[in-house]
Amino acid sequence: ADTIAPVASVSKTVAGLAALLVFSEFNVPKDTRIGDLLPQVPVRNHFGEPLRLIHLMEHTSGLQEVIYPWPKTPSAAYAPLGELLFNILPEQRVRWTPGLATTYSNYNYTLLMHVLERVTGESFDAVMQKRVLDPLNMRSTSFRIDRVDRGRLALGYHPGERMPLPHSDSFYRSSAGMYTTIADLAVGTDAGQIKT
């Protein structure tokens, strides 16, 4: 129960909770246009319906899944999300009218977390720590591998090989970068501990 492991896209569940808390705290409606919050957002949308916060949360944005190489250095992985979106990842294109259909995309939650940084004026890590991890006493959970106890970190292996896979942070910490334990996740499932 106390082994720390990367939980990949389960990260979105926790990031989504943080988003709901921030939207409530700062009175930001979920149908707010992304362009109103991020005027220079690197997304092309030629459809009549604007891209909205709810589209990112529901994976109905029409944005393509983005697979991009892992960063070469920890400083690149921990760069502000705005730097990632505007300087590293290529411009994205909305492929159909936002809200029309569901398609999974890690880019949705990367963009969503940058919105939270802009709304709060805080870093992604600060948003998560202050609004979710600390209130729920999730002491073994982090979105940064450099903040977890490596002595408790589970190892994965290549199929059919005995060499362990190295752990590394990705650009997509908000969508797939959480490290946690079963014990912390069990605490986090008690919805009565945090008010949205």
What's the pLDDT score for residue 140? 95
Count CB-CB contacts under 10 A for residue 144.
17
Alpha helices (H) along the chain: 11-25, 34-37, 53-58, 74-77, 81-83, 106-120, 124-128, 173-176, 182-188
- pLDDT score recorded for residue 188: 61
* Residue whose token pair is 């650009």: 171
Task: Identify the three-state secondary structure at position 107.
Answer: helix
Q: What rounded mean pLDDT belongs to the chain?
A: 87
What is the pLDDT confidence band of residue 173, given thresholds at 50, 70 and 90? confident
Percent of the chain with pLDDT over 90: 56
Check: pTM over 0.85? Answer yes or no.
yes
| Rounded Cα distance, 13 and 138, in Å | 14
User: Which of 46, 81, 41 lies closest to 62 in space, CA to CA?
Assistant: 46
Reduce the DSSP state of residue 124 to 3 states and report it. Answer: helix
pLDDT in tens, 120-158: 999 999 999 999 999 999 999 999 988 999 999 998 888
Q: Which amino acid is at 121?
A: G
Span 57-64, mean pLDDT?
Answer: 93
Identify the burial level of 55 via C-beta atoms within 10 angstroms of its C-beta, where 0-12 means exposed, 13-18 middle and 19 or more buried.
buried
User: How confident is the model over 167-174, as a mean pLDDT?
Assistant: 79
Q: Which residue has the higher pLDDT, 195 or 47?
A: 47
* Cα–Cα dist 172/110, whole Å: 6
Place 193 in a pLDDT band, splitting at 50, 70 and 90.
low
pLDDT at 164: 85
